[in-house]
Amino acid sequence: MTLGSILFFGAIIVIAIYGITLYNGLVALKHAVAKAWANIDVLLKQRHDELPKLVEVCKQYKQFEQETLQRVIEARSQVQSARETQNIGALGEAEGALRMGLGRLFAVAEAYPELKSNEHFMQLQQRISSLENAIADRRELYNDAVNINNVRVEQFPDAIMARMFNFESKPLLEFSIAEKADVDLKQLFS
């Protein structure tokens, strides 16, 4: 073998190793996004299972605002539908509606001392609040994983490998302007 052929085969091996490294990195990112979504999905399912219990406890108080309960029930259904279809855009909107409904529900509950003192209600409120915090943490992790994936899919030379093997950008989990706005406390208590 001549020096030229050794250099040629050496270059081919280096390029192959580099290509394999790029591909494996993109695969790892794709699975990181899927794992981050699965973590959100588990928490959404847990919250989905807890909300009917909370609504049922509130329904036991006959005078409790039915409109508020209905909003929570409808928003819960929208979140479930978006979660099942993995529609990130619809999930962001539905999450906003659910969070607003829960905020109103907890605010209205303040006017019912016997409900506030109900141990089951308090446990459910704490459980849902902790799930909300965990979901917020997982949203951040999901969006970080998606951002890293999207940058790599668009960056040269990763973009070449991404196009060859159909690696795609993923949508960020974004929220409506209403959810990002300041809470109107007067409206909650009126």
HSE on the CB side for 183, CA within 13 Å? 12
* Three-class HEC string of the chain: CCHHHHHHHHHHHHHHHHHHHHHHHHHHHHHHHHHHHHHHHHHHHHHHHHHHHHHHHHHCCCCCCHHHHHHHHHHHHHHHHHHHHCCHHHHHHHHHHHHHHHHHHHHHHCCCHHHHCCHHHHHHHHHHHHHHHHHHHHHHHHHHHHHHHHHHHHCCCHHHHHHHCCCCCCCCCCCCHHHHCCCCHHHHCC
CA dist 43 and 16 (Å) reads 41
Residue with tokens 């619809």: 90
Give the homologous superfamily in CATH for domain 3-188. Answer: LemA-like domain (1.20.1440.20)
* Domain boundaries, given as residue ranges, for the chain: 3-188
pLDDT (tens, 9 = 90+) of the chain, 190 residues, equals 798 889 999 999 999 999 999 999 999 999 999 999 999 989 988 988 888 888 888 877 766 777 888 888 888 888 888 888 888 888 888 888 888 888 888 887 777 777 767 788 888 888 888 998 898 899 999 999 999 999 999 999 999 999 999 999 998 887 665 554 444 545 544 4
